[in-house]
Structure 1
Amino acid sequence: MTTLILWLLDRVQSLFRLLGADYGQLRAIVQVKLIMDNRRSLVSLGRYGKPSAESNSNFTRVLGIYTLVGGLISLAMLSTPERDMLFFPLTLQFSYIMALCAMTLISDFSSVILDSSDNQIILPRPVGSRTLWLARIVHISSYLFAIALSLSVGGVLVIGYRFGALAALTFLTMSLLSAVLMVFLTNVFYLVLMRFINEEKLREVINYFQIVMAVLFYGGYQLLPRLIDSREILTQTIEHTWWHYLIPPMWMAATVDVFIQPILDSTHIIFGSLALLMPFAGLWFMNRFLTANFTQKLSGIDNESQSEASPLSAPRTQSVRTNWLEKLATWATTNALERAAFTFTWRITGRDRKFKLKTYPQLGFGLAYVVAMSFQSRSIGSSGFFYLFALYFAGLYVMVAQYQLGISDNYKASWIYGSAPIQAPGDVLSGSLKALIIKLLIPFYTLLASYILYRYGLDKINDVLLAFSNSLIMLVSAALLSTRYMPFSVAPDALKQNNTARGLLVSIVLAIVGLSHFGLTLVPYGVWVAIPASVFTFWYILHQYKKTSWERVEMG
């Protein structure tokens, strides 16, 4: 793939010179970045995949999955509507392509766009800011083009079979322009942030944006099959209004629609002009106005010690936060070591962006799944015991946070555990787990319980309380049965990948506990009687976990 990309770059090198870049430098930077990418694992296939030394087939497998999924979606949306009813299905198809390209930029390549680690090598050399920026854009665009192509294969085949080669070629061209447009929109977002937001807060803002987009994308994944299942929606006629001209997928859909019907009116001409001009106009706009001081901004991103707060207000704010956290830790823990582990875990989980990116979306997925399933009439969501299924199924997502608790990119700092006079590591483990329960599990179950009570009635409060206590038991039991690591002491690639048996065991136990809970609902006051027994069981298991000795702890 690297050879092909470099060959294509050589064919259009005059364009980069026209844009003001030094082509020789740009080609060298892109070549090195592509070689380094072969040693990097992608988020799209999991968080902890180990790449090989020189080559990595992860991206090829991602493209294969995208080709299969894109083909199925294209077959469902484009194979049945008549040619005069294809505008809305085409809009959905291009929306899917654009959304997936944007998510790839956010999840896998945001760190590449904003990476400043190569500044130590590049900045001392006479490399212009525009050359560096264009090298990053070419690097990202090469992958997005491959993704857009894989997502478009199914649509190209369906449209080519039904309406001819010209319509298929137009569909392929619009798919590639969609990728270019996503490069423009995503980079505008990043570059505008770099212009107006303090470097200290930039990565934090992007991190929360990644989390929100991941949850929204999963919600769209749940919604799309329901739209496809409704033929009335796919075959409806759209009356165009002025705001349709602000929706990029409609530009692409109308351009393809011109060759499918065929039709050429003023509306389609405007849409087609926007589809052909806006991607390139966007790149020109970024190259002309947004890349000034790009390299200097990048060099300041990692300087997170700066703060805009005044010297007097910053210590006062920090003191208020510390006092509040200390009071909470004193209430939740029983000794000084456990309290120190509680506050340490609380602060690290609030500062570690990768922990939040790997944990918070999972909790959002759980909530989105419960809401989507509860409205699906022809599934378990219509059954009378769905609320019990939701309460226990959501517990699987919480266990992801417990699994992440031992992982950190700064795992080498874990030498402090061995040098500090810690005689009872169980206090550290229990303190960390309590911080996780209070910070993540309780807010998550509060939102989940609020939705369950709103949808199924306040009389389900006893079921919510018992399910919450049982979920605590499952969380501590999973910690007891797993290999015990000190908090944030293990490298991400060090944990074993094969967790199928553990996940299957946890799922079976959750199913047994959930069915037992359902049986208690058939017994008068059975749930209320079971709540104290469940709380006592949780306290006893947590006490056993707190007794962990150094012989049971495995240092990363």
Structure 2
Amino acid sequence: MITVKQVIVAPLNLFLKTLGVDVLHFWALLSAKLKIDFRRPPNSFQSAGKKQTLIKQLFIYAFLGAMVVFSLYRISDMMLQFSVFFTFLIVFEGTILLTEFTGVLFDENENQILLPRPVSSRTLLLVRLVHILVYMSYIAITLSLPFAIYLAINHGLLSVAFIIGVLLCAWFTLILAVGFYMSLSKFVSAERFKDVLNYFQIALAVVIMASYQLVPHFMEGANVESLMFKQAWWAYLLPSAWFAGLTKVIGGLAVSSDWVYAATALCVSLLGSVLLIRKLSSGFTSIISESGTGIQREVKPVEIKSAKGWKNKLLSILCISEVEQTGWRLTMSHIRGDRKLKQQVYPMFAYSLIMVVAFLKPEINDFSAYIQELATSSKYLLFVLTGFFGTLGVGVIPFTDTPKASWIYEMAATNKKYHIQSGAVKAMLFTFFLPLQLLYLIPIIWIWGFAVLPYVFLGSGLSVVLAILLVRIQNNPLPFSQGREMVNKGEYTLRMFLGMLMVGVIIGLVYLVSLAHMGVGIGLCVVMPLFISLSYRTIRNR
């Protein structure tokens, strides 16, 4: 007797065969991957299980989606509403894909199991694409849920058509990025592929963030209620317009141009899938096999030296014990050699600079008058927010591609195990946070003078305290003791948004202090090192 499941799966199996994928291998591998994901112990949010962890992350994504709805409801033109939202969705999911899911796509941890077996490149690539799509779909639907509720209230079943467009948009974003990756692999050797990909990801992530932050500022001052979607020739080249038109077609609200957009969305998604799996997938197994053996850096043992030379003298001042110095040196070694760590942390410098431009909005035409006006404002506090990006590297300290070496933590003959973690946090803040703060002192002093420095130092100190306390509150594991696994996907981006909200509270507190006598700000700056020291103690005394 034919079951409902067989009826649903039969068309999918036919499509899989058309792509040249082994159906039995595909379903077996995908089922195994999804089961393993929810059987590993959770890391993020320290929840009781993977599903609870995922639900908590999705709740925050729903909140972000609600914030987008507050910006879109003022737009009266439905086509423009959909186009703006799908642009947001593509950018947001593309950012997460670039920063967090690429490691899943080219993961070499399964090589010893899969590569000796007769699993084709097409099958293996599609399994990983669908595996990633499951999580990207969760994120996409959750981000879209507030807007779908808004549509259901005002337009009824149009919300169902909107969700269909969202899912197809998530798949399009995935095949677009992976299609580029696989095209890139045709021009570079497998040994160098991940290195080239790493630099490209950093550059593209910066471009995406720059567009995401700067483009809306070009629209400021415009009458949003009167904006209309312009039916120009270049609009047919915009993916966001394709899925907006598709949503209107499925919802029964289409005009003639929407049919063209919808047909383009379907054709590009379908043909892109066929091209990616049938043509570009060749050599995928070679990429992951070479990446697992050809680009691993040689790890040299860390030699603990006595404090001599200015670097070691500085280290002896910053760290209270030799164990903490070991955590510092271990982290510095990873910063120099860990490619994925660079990929996650280095773009934050560029993000921070982009945020400065986005918030300050310099007037090029009358720059001198702009500077004079800026000097009378309190916008120097925005540098506290942009400087916070330098603390985000603390969140990636526990993760590495070689977590098996963490057994040494349990074997070490010391009762100061968490001094290693505090040393690692200090190394991250010294390497990424301090340079940003020193860089921003130049424009701050030039525009606002020395009088605002107590408040800038106070905000920076509170940001450091926040970063340290988050390590303790979230019970972060010891440095480089956890694998980069699916459980953490989406969490890094989530932490960035949550941290920015908390820094907003810090800015408000610093602004209130600035309204009081300057002596209050100076006094708080004097005691700030004590607060930072006590924060580090909460880590060491775990």
TM over 0.5: yes
Counterpart residue number, 1:15 = 15
Secondary structure, counterpart of 2:117 in structure 1: coil
1:345 is matched with 331
Partner of 1:137: 129
Residue identity (%): 24
Determine which structure has greater relative contact order: mean sequence separation of CA pairs < 8 Å that are 6+ residues apart, divided by chain length.
2
Q: Give the letter for the 1:273 counterpart.
A: A
The structure 2 residue matched to 1:184, chosen from 175, 188, 196, is 175
Contact kept, 8 Å, 2:66 with 2:147, in 1: the verdict is yes
2:52 to 57, 63, 72: 57
Q: 1:52 to 1:8 in 2, by over 3 A?
A: farther
Summarize deviations over 1:355-404 as a string: whole Å, max 9, x none: 4466556666665555555459xxxx989563453355556555554576
Where do residues 277-296 of structure 1 align in structure 2 (5 Å cutoff)?
277-296=267-286
Deviation at 1:151, TM superposition (A): 4.4
Report if the CA contact (8 A) 1:402-1:475 is conserved: no
Structure 1 residues 510 and 200, CA gap change in structure 2 (3 angstroms)? farther
Q: Is the 8 A contact 2:87 2:240 kept in 1?
A: yes
- 2:111 partner letter: N
Hey, what's the Cα distance between the residues in 2 that align with 1:232 and 1:542? 47
CA RMSD of aligned residues (A): 5.6
Which whole-Å CA distance do the structure 2 matches of 1:99 and 1:117 have between them? 29
Q: Unpaired runs of 5+ in structure 2?
A: 301-307, 363-372, 488-499
Segments of 5+ residues of structure 1 without an aligned counterpart are 308-313, 319-325, 494-502
Amino acid at match of 1:175: V
* Equivalent runs, 1:53-92 vs 2, <5 Å: 56-63=51-58, 65-66=60-61, 69-70=64-65, 73-74=68-69, 77=72, 81=76, 85-92=77-84
What's 1:329 paired with? 311
Q: Secondary structure at the match of 1:140?
A: helix
Query: Following the alignment from structure 1 to structure 2, what is the Cα–Cα distance between the partners of residues 9 and 509?
Result: 52
Between Structure 1 and Structure 2, whose CA radius of gyration is higher? 1
Structure 2 match to 1:98: 90
Q: How far 1:184 sits from its partner (Å)?
A: 1.3
Q: Shift of the alpha carbon at 1:27? A: 1.0
Describe how 1:215-230 pairs up with structure 2 within 5 A: none
Counterpart mapping for 1:19-34 below 5 A:
19-34=19-34
Shift of 1:354: 5.5
The CA distance in 1 between the partners of 2:421 and 2:165, in whole Å, is 54
CA distance in 2, matches of 1:140, 1:110: 9
Alpha carbons of structure 1 residues 407 and 515: separation in structure 2 relative to 1, 3 Å: farther
Cα deviation for residue 273 of structure 1 reads 2.8
Distance 1:509 1:60, change over 3 A: closer
Residue 95 of structure 1: how far off its partner (Å): 1.3
Q: Is the 8 A contact 2:59 2:142 kept in 1?
A: yes
The alpha carbon displacement at 1:98 in A equals 2.3
Q: What is the aligned counterpart of 2:226 among 218, 225, 235?
A: 235
The 1:452/1:207 distance shift into structure 2, 3 A limit, reads farther
User: Does the 8 Å contact 2:235/2:241 carry over to 1?
Assistant: yes
Change (3 A) 1:468 1:243: same
Offset of 1:29 from its aligned partner?
A: 0.8
Q: What secondary structure does 1:56 align onto?
A: helix
Question: Which of these residues, 286, 292, 298, is aligned with residue 288 of structure 2?
Answer: 298
Count, aligned residues? 501
TM-score between both structures, scaled by the size of structure 1: 0.67
Residue 321 of structure 1 corresponds to which residue in structure 2?
none
The Cα of 1:105 is off from its aligned counterpart by: 2.9
Q: Structure 1 residues 464 and 154, CA, compared in 2 at 3 Å: closer, same or farther?
A: closer
Q: Could you tell me which residue of structure 1 aligns to residue 255 of structure 2?
A: 263
| In structure 2, distance between residues paired with 1:217 and 1:474 | 26
Distance 1:508 1:159, change over 3 A: closer
> Is the CA contact (8 Å cut-off) linking 1:388 and 1:514 kept in structure 2?
no
- Once the 2 structures are TM-superposed, how far is the Cα of residue 91 of structure 1 from its aligned partner? 0.8
Give CA-to-partner distance per residue, 1:54-108, whole Å, 9 cap, x none. Answer: x523334545554565466457525761xxx332222102212323332343344
Note the alpha carbon deviations across 1:222-266, whole angstroms, 9 max, x for none.
67987999772453234444433322111222344567765325x
Q: If the length of structure 2 is used for normalisation, what is the TM-score?
A: 0.69
1:439 aligns with 2:435: no
